[in-house]
Amino acid sequence: MVTIHLIPAMGHDKELFRTLIEICDETFKVITHNYPQELSEQDDTLEFLAQYFSKEIRKTNHLNEKYILLGVSLGASLCLRINEILENEAENLFLLATGGPRVARIRKEMILNALKESQEKDFVKRMLSLDSEENFLSHFCENQDSAAAYYAYLAKSWENATEQVLKQFIDLSKAAIEIDYEHLLSHFQSKIIILWGDKDKVFSKRNLSKIIDCAPEATIVRFKNFGHYLPIEAPQEVIKIVSNYV
């Protein structure tokens, strides 16, 4: 049986994948890797996370089983580096709504200015679209009932977040601005399947164009009616695509 290693977006845990996991269990072995609970200041980097997840995957893959990496948003970008650390062992890389190439300079300056002008907790809420339920649901095109339930769960978890957790999120957000995985997109493109919601409000279609430029041999699957949160909006469609390419 093929194992799916799920690398979630920052700020999310396996609760996001509940329906996805239930559907997967019929065909795949699913392992969801959550972000570490506590990080020291020197560990607040994307490289640390890639190394951390790589070690976790190694622990669970002692029998050299076939596995794939499925990552969402920041987790999708991390999958590229994880696969490199694991010496390209993954059968496929499924990247959902990945940030991919380096963020444009103007967006970098906008985010850094927002950090200076805002309270960190307010910034975190906006980054996760948790400043209001209306804003959060605007990222979803269908399955808004499920999204509304998840909003309540996620909003509560971040409202109760410690200052250390908030700081980690801010530091990782800054690190994500500098992400530059063009060479990895190109190097692993034969194994890459990009799943992209055309109504994504987190990353623009221009970002998808840059990814295609970096990895013209990668498989691109676009969903007209869905946005950034494909595991919630279209879990059946996601697993169907995964099954087709494994």
* In the chain, where the domains are located: 3-245
* DSSP-assigned beta bridge partners for residue 31: 5
- Centre a 10 Å sphere on the Cβ of residue 145 and count the other Cβ atoms it contains: 10
> DSSP code of 205?
H
Do residues 158 and 128 lie in contact, with contact meaning Cβ atoms separated by under 8 Å? yes
**pTM, 2 dp:** 0.82
pLDDT of residue 108: 61
Pick the CATH number of 3-245 from 3.40.190.10, 3.30.530.20, 3.40.50.1820, 3.40.630.10: 3.40.50.1820
pLDDT of residue 116: 67
d(CA 152, CA 235): 20
* DSSP-assigned beta bridge partners for residue 68: 4
pLDDT in tens, the chain (246 residues): 899 999 988 767 677 788 888 888 888 988 988 877 665 555 557 788 889 899 999 988 777 788 999 998 888 889 999 999 999 999 999 999 887 666 555 556 656 666 666 666 676 677 667 788 888 887 776 667 777 877 887 788 777 777 777 777 777 766 766 667 788 899 999 999 999 998 887 787 888 888 999 999 999 999 988 888 888 888 899 999 999 998
pLDDT of residue 11: 63
